Chain A
Amino acid sequence: MFSKISLKLILTITFLSILIFSGFVYYSLHTQDTLLLNQTKKFINAESETIKSSTKVSMLANDREVTHEIIKTVGKQPCIRQVRILNKEGKVIYAADTTEIGKVLDKKAEACYSCHASNKPLTRLSISKRIRIYKLHPDSSRILGVINPIYNEPSCWNAPCHAHPKSQKVLGVLDLTVCLKNVDRDLNLAKQHMILFAFLSILGLAIVLGILVKQIIGIPVKKLSEGVKMVASGNLNYKVPELGNDELGLLARSFNHMTEKLMEARQQLFQSDKMASLGRLAAGVAHEINNPLTGILTYASFLMKRTKDQPDIHKDLEVIVRETLRSREIVKGLLDFARQTIPKKVKSDIHQVIERALTVLENQLTLNHIEVEKHFSKQLPQILIDPNQMQQVFTNLIENAYQAIGKKGGKITITTSLTRLAPYGVVQIKQALCPKGHELMDEQVRIDGLPTVKLKVIVNGQETFVNLDPIYGKNRIKMGLPITSGDKVDIRCPKCNISMVDQGKTCPQCNAPIYVLEIPGKGELRGCFTSDCRWQYWDYIEQQGPRDYIEIKVSDTGCGIPPEIMDKIFDPFFTTKGQEGNGLGMAVIWGILENHEGIISVESTVNVGTTFTIHLPVNLR
């Protein structure tokens, strides 16, 4: 019924209120107890004074009978347990309970202790010290005793009986004991009421809280979690119902918004990825399905051929052959689709391609007051590219450029030239494998937006990861620990832990152990990553020597790319344009250039502008 959070909330609040209520009840009971007892003490003291005063006359007249009567009468009152008058020696002279008369009390007894503890009897004691509270048995009600000393007065030693000499200070003691049964009963009653009230309050609080939590948190959270479950199971059309204007309502609306975005993203992903993935799928399906289809088709058509004289069987076989041919057509359709994703490369003039891209965007550029400056080299050779795909690259780049410039107007400069680049510092490592064939490319950690090569390194017993720069020779390595040439280094595949160290060889510059990567179809790449050396050698690429490239620079005077997002710009779905962009533009550029063995790099200064540089090889390998 309750989700965990509401249960926790209720338990916490209940526990806290129990603490607060018990503290309050304890304190208030204590106060009540003290107040009531003080009241009772005062009352009992006053009563003992009254008894003393009422016996005074008969005492002076030394009329024992009358004194006795008074004591007896007082003793009959319901709450009074015992009234007695003791003389100086501790002998009971008068008592409501006549059996006690004549008893001598030990001065060390509890009743006398307050005065007789020190050897010298005190003359005056405060009320509180003359009062004692005790229990006869642990389970009987409390008893309050008050001792009232009877002091010697002139009227006493002047009385005709001359019973007391003038020198005597205290003549005796009036001891009055009262049971506190009523007081205790009242206190108990108050305690019970208070605890009952506290219990009911806490219970009420918990119930109200439970209902509130369920209404305000439980039900909305349940609806939200239903939504999350639905979305997780793939139903991106599911909407969480409106949940009001509180934080949960806001969360529900944000959740719905997120689902919509996810839906859009999925559609975009589907749109963009379906070509590529369907291509791969088609290839797989074609191969896997075409083989069994061949078996069916050959045998069925063979059988059909041999049963021309048996019309019944022939007709049935015709159905089998027809339907198998239909399946063949379906698979063929898939393959036709797959073929469309393969770039159709023809010798083209790159300038024509750029001009076509500019024509498409002409209106938008003029409207935004953007001037386009072209510095086209006159001696560019034709290169083997898919003109349609390459036009897409320039359309996307120019579109990004004018969006970076915005409405304020600016300039886009497109420069082309022919360059010759040595492979060192230019060629990109797009695939790398460990000796067991595990892929080492790390899509998560990127350098300049490009996936890196991830290796596990054990330096002096400490394990860490190193991400190699994907550009051969650039060596902007990301590593967890600094590594120097003196360190004991072991290099392993992060997936299977197999050693990646080139056994028996060391770095020709610093003698540290070197790693060896298998580049599928392109030989092996060796390198060293100690902080002071970073040597790299890729035999296959070096053998080919420097290569001619057409260099195309697209610069804008726009807002620039902040360094912190530089690594993400080629990620699919990464966009800074919010609702406007789908985050696929740069990823598409990336994919197309990859198909053309092209290289793209970016330089940017915030508020100054961005330059994208593309290198396209003049001769494809």
Chain B
Amino acid sequence: MENKSRNLLTIDDENVILEAVKRVGTAEGWKVDTATDATQGFQMVQKNSYDLCLCDIMLPDMDGFQFLEKLRESEIDLPVIMTTGFATIENAVKSLDMGAIDYLPKPFTVDEVLSTLYRGFRFVDLKKRQIETDSDVNSIIVPCPLQYKHLGFQSWISIDYDGSVKIGATDLFLKIINSIKTVNLLPLEAEILQGFSCAEFEADDELIHQLMAPMSGQIIRVNEKIKEDLSQLEKDPYFNGWLYIIVPKNLNYELKYLSGCHNIFGR
């Protein structure tokens, strides 16, 4: 694992969750600060410099969305991962829409919180590398084709002429995970739900990363090839590296929550 010093800020109104995150993060060698409300959190953000923030949505004074808004207004560039016990697609999508880089539904296991936070830190690293080298974004990560749509920086869809929908993981997501050891896909005919996990990626560092489904529907084809040849996934994430073909359940409705393909860093 990376041995850089990592600074994490956790905002939650439940002390047990703050303690748990602190415990887990400290064990990983990070510096973890905690705040019990967004106002306190914002003061800490202004005083100290953090790499990443894990923020609850439902908070006493100002909620997580308002916190995001305030960061944007103050032009503080702090990547935020949203978390909430009221885990609905609306909350997930609203978070991503408002500039959060990821979304973690409560309750979570250590592996889940760690993989999400590691992804967050690597996102920060990638972004830093882009800024430091002042290189073209496209040389670091390949954006999805223009006609595609994506959910957060995680998954993409492409609508076929027959109305079926192809689903896959974005290059950014795969780059963040880095070395993928195995991919666990759902079986044929399984139902997937927008905003909830639809595939598991096991990395070399033993972290398991869940991919958020970009759309709800029933799986009619599974790309079995990539299980054998993981390189397909990394080489060509938007074409040969697709994961499922589904029959969408609420295409028009769920399209609202997806964004067009553009520079993901440049929000």
Contacts and interface: CB of A to CB of B under 8 A. Distances in A.
A162 interface: no
Contacts of B253: 344-346
Given A294-B20, A295-B20, A321 B86 contact: no
A332 interface: yes
A2 interface: no
B24 A298 contact: yes
A502 B6 CA distance: 55
B16 A294 contact: yes
Contact of A296 (B21, B90, B107, B111): B107
Contacts of A345: 253
A382 to B, nearest CB: 11
Contacts of A305: 110-111
Interface string B51-65: 000000010000000
B16 A292 contact: yes
Given A290-B85, A294-B20, A295-B17, A302 B106 contact: no
A328 interface: yes
B252 interface: yes
A347 interface: yes
Interface in B108-128: 108-111, 113
A335 B86 contact: yes
B250 interface: yes
Contacts of B107: 290-291, 293-294, 296-298, 324, 328
- Most B Cβ at <10 Å: residue of A291, A305, A338: A291
Contacts of A292: 14, 16
Given A291-B106, A298-B21, A346 B85 contact: no
B28 to A, nearest CB: 11
A375 interface: no
Given A301-B109, A344-B250, A291 B17 contact: yes
A298 B109 contact: yes
Given A290-B106, A336-B193, A295 B14 contact: yes
Contact of B111 (A287, A299, A301, A336): A301
A283 interface: yes
Nearest to A292: B16
Contact of A287 (B85, B109, B193): B85
Given A286-B85, A302-B23, A344-B250, A293 B109 contact: no
Interface string B13-44: 01011011101100100000000000000000
A298 B85 contact: no
A514 to B, nearest CB: 33
Contact of A298 (B17, B86, B88): B17
A298 B108 contact: yes
Interface in A267-312: 283, 286-299, 301-302, 304-305
A325 interface: yes
A325 B250 CA distance: 28
Most buried by A among B27, B107, B109: B107
A294 B17 contact: yes
Contacts of A547: none
A347 B88 CA distance: 23
Task: Determine which residue in A286, A292, A298, A338 has the highest number of CB atoms from chain B within 10 A of its CB, and name it.
Answer: A298
B142 interface: no
B141 interface: no
Contacts of B111: 301, 305
Interface in A486-519: none
Nearest to A282: B86
Contacts of B14: 291-292, 294-295
B89 interface: yes
A257 interface: no
Interface residues of B, number: 28
Contacts of B71: none
Chain A interface bracket (under 10, 10 to 19, 20 to 34, 35 or more): 20 to 34
Given A298-B113, A301-B110, A290 B87 contact: yes
Interface in A78-136: none
Nearest to A296: B107
Contacts, number: 84
B26 to A, nearest CB: 11
B95 to A, nearest CB: 16
Nearest to B109: A301
Contacts of B250: 344
A286 B89 contact: no
Secondary structure at chain A's binding surface: helix, strand, loop or mixed? Answer: helix
Contacts of B110: 298, 301-302, 304-305
Nearest to A324: B107
A469 to B, nearest CB: 34
A345 B19 CA distance: 41
A338 B250 CA distance: 16
A322 to B, nearest CB: 11
Contacts of A229: none
B87 A335 contact: yes
A291 B19 CA distance: 12
Contacts of A293: 106-107
A581 B24 CA distance: 59
B109 A286 contact: no
Contacts of B85: 286-291, 294
Contacts of A332: 87
A158 to B, nearest CB: 141
B16 A286 contact: no
A347 B252 contact: yes
A165 to B, nearest CB: 137
B252 A346 contact: yes
A315 interface: no
B104 to A, nearest CB: 10
Given A291-B17, A292-B16, A294-B20, A335 B109 contact: no
A325 B16 CA distance: 18
Contacts of A347: 252
Contacts of B113: 298
A316 to B, nearest CB: 16
Nearest to A325: B109
A339 interface: yes
B58 A302 contact: no
Contacts of B108: 294, 297-298
A321 B87 contact: no
A245 B21 CA distance: 74
Contact of B58 (A287, A295, A325, A328): A287
Interface string A314-358: 000000010011001000100110110010111100000000000
A197 B58 CA distance: 87
A289 B106 CA distance: 10
A87 to B, nearest CB: 128
A345 B20 CA distance: 39
Nearest to B194: A339
A321 B109 contact: yes
B150 to A, nearest CB: 20
A598 B117 CA distance: 44
Contacts of B252: 346-347
A321 B111 CA distance: 12
Contacts of B193: 336
Interface string B237-259: 00000000000001011000000
B86 A283 contact: yes
Contacts of A287: 58, 84-86
B24 A294 contact: no
Given A294-B17, A298-B24, 6 more contacts: A287-B84, A288-B85, A294-B108, A298-B20, A332-B87, A347-B252
Interface of B: 14, 16-17, 19-21, 23-24, 27, 58, 84-90, 106-111, 113, 193, 250, 252-253
5 contacts: A287-B58, A287-B84, A287-B85, A299-B20, A338-B88
Report, nearest first, the 8 A-B pairs whose CB atoms are least far apart: A290-B85, A295-B16, A298-B20, A293-B107, A294-B107, A301-B109, A346-B252, A344-B253
